[in-house]
């Protein structure tokens, strides 16, 4: 059993590290103006995406938000396809026509992401209904943030999923902020999101998003219950984004959050925690460095591939041709 846990930790670390290093590379290159789309980075939130992606199978569905890179990579998405999409190239996972916020890759079950807050929630519930009607051994995973809780479509979709006992798992990444607004100015004081959802009738769990292995275990258990016909589950994980809401920079200087808060969350970094855990389980510094070098090589290759790829044909990239 100990060896199994060790291998799981290593896999989780590789997933989380790949997400972290990919997005850090995106941030470092963004000023080159070759990625001509807004980017919402998940640096600091990698633990949830890595754990959920590992717990899901390739045939399970997933839908995501404007902050979708991590979810796509966690679900087994193609790194070259992601980077090419940011560059607007035809080799991108959405053919270069979607950009950062509109990723789609049916080959790994990643049905899509959207720039509109809460917009993918009913899509994910609909996918759950299709699974139920076809009696398939799958689940539909819906990634959402704490801001989506304030959208009416969330309640409508959740209610329908509960009434129909659909095979849907809601993954709420609560990073406490919607753009520059904290929870305290957006939602009632003292209200817990997972407790409110439980009152609507869903099975709920709440956990630490920086405890990647703990997230993985919780998601696995949830999926098992869902596949037994127990209805949808809502899992809320506390997490934190290190960089600005949209863009590659840090923004602690503009006053909506404090440097002290940022440093407090940095001290609980999910990737560094995983690195510590795999070393405690027997991996040497040399082996960890090797994983990092392999990951950086894969990332560099993806950027080279994107740079060399062609842009889509004009006719293919225009929905309407005006004469």
| pLDDT 10s digits, 67-78 | 999 999 999 999
In 148-259 the beta strands, taken as DSSP E runs, fall at 168-174, 177-178, 181-182, 203-208, 233-238
Nearest of 144, 127, 126, 151 to residue 60 by alpha carbon: 127
Global confidence as pTM? 0.95
For the domain that residue 106 is a member of, what is the CATH number? 3.40.50.970
Domain range for residue 154? 39-310
Residue 49 lies in a domain: yes
Number of structural domains (the chain) is 1
d(CA 312, CA 240): 36
Whole-number percent of the chain with pLDDT over 90: 94
Total H helices, total E strands in the chain:
12, 8
Residue 319 lies in a domain: no
Residue 10 lies in a domain: no
Residue 323 lies in a domain: no
d(CA 216, CA 195): 21
Q: What is the pLDDT of residue 306?
A: 98
Residue 321 lies in a domain: no
pLDDT of residue 320 exceeding 50, the answer is no
Name residue 174's beta-bridge partners: 238
Residue that wins the pLDDT comparison between 227 and 2: 227
| pLDDT 10s digits, 161-198 | 999 999 999 999 999 999 999 999 999 999 999 999 99
Name residue 181's beta-bridge partners: 178
Q: What is the pLDDT of residue 315?
A: 73
pLDDT of residue 316 exceeding 80, the answer is no
DSSP string, 164-178: HT-SEEEEEEE-SEE
For residues 31, 119, 192, 232, the Cα torsion angle rounded to the nearest 10 degrees is -120
Residue 167 lies in a domain: yes
CA distances from 146 to 143, 168, 199, 262, 319 (A): 10, 18, 17, 18, 34
Average pLDDT on 258-265 reads 96
């Amino acid at each position: 059993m100990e060896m199994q846990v060790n291998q799981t930790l290593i896999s989780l670390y590789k997933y989380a590290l790949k997400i972290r290093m990919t997005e850090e590379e995106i941030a470092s290159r963004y000023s080159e103006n070759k990625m001509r789309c807004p980017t919402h980075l998940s640096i600091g939130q990698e633990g949830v995406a890595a754990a959920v992606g590992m717990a899901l199978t390739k045939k399970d569905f997933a839908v995501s938000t404007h902050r979708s890179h991590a979810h796509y990579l966690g679900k087994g998405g193609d790194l070259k396809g992601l980077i090419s999409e940011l560059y607007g190239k035809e080799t991108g996972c959405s053919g270069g026509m979607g950009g950062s916020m509109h990723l789609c890759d049916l080959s790994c079950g990643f049905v899509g992401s959207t720039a509109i807050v809460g917009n993918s929630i009913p899509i994910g519930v609909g996918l759950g209904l299709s699974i139920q009607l076809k009696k398939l051994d799958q689940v539909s995973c819906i990634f959402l943030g704490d801001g989506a809780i304030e959208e009416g479509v969330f309640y409508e979709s959740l209610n329908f999923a509960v009434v129909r006992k659909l095979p849907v798992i809601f993954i709420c990444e609560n990073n406490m902020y919607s753009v520059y607004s904290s929870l305290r100015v957006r939602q009632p004081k003292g209200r817990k999101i997972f407790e409110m959802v439980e009152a609507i009738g869903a099975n709920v769990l709440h956990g630490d998003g920086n405890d990647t292995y703990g997230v993985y275990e919780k998601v696995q258990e949830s999926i098992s219950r869902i596949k037994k016909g127990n209805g949808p589950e809502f899992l809320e994980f506390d997490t934190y984004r290190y960089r600005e809401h949209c863009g590659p920079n840090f923004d602690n200087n503009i006053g909506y959050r404090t440097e002290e808060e940022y440093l407090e969350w940095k001290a609980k970094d999910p990737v560094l925690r995983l690195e510590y855990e795999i070393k405690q389980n027997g991996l040497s510094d040399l082996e960890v460095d090797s994983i990092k070098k392999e990951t950086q090589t894969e990332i560099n290759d993806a950027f080279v591939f994107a740079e060399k790829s062609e842009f889509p044909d004009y006719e293919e990239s225009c929905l309407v041709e005006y004469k």
